């Protein structure tokens, strides 16, 4: 359990993660003005961003 909490803390304290999530959020917001997305697609995009960031943190640090 402690390992999970440490991983979450590291994930949330990385400024690059905040940057990527912000960029994706702005792009989705702009896209939603013209073409609404299904909630499932939004969750899938969020999942892809999280997986990408975890992969980047684990293998490129």
Per-residue pLDDT of 25-57, as tens digits, reads 888 778 777 777 788 887 887 788 888 888 888
Q: Is the pLDDT of residue 61 over 70?
A: no
pLDDT value of position 38: 83
Residues 6+ apart with CB under 8 A from 53: 11, 14, 16, 17, 20, 21
Where along the chain do its domains lie?
A: 2-59
Helix axes 39-59, 2-13, angle to 10 degrees: 100
The reported pLDDT for the residue numbered 4 is 83
């Amino acid at each position: 359990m402690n390992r999970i909490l440490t991983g979450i803390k590291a994930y949330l304290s990385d400024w690059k993660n905040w940057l990527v999530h912000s960029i994706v959020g702005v792009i989705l917001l702009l896209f939603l003005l013209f073409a609404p997305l299904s909630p499932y697609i939004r969750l899938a995009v969020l999942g892809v961003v999280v997986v990408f960031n975890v992969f980047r943190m684990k293998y490129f640090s």
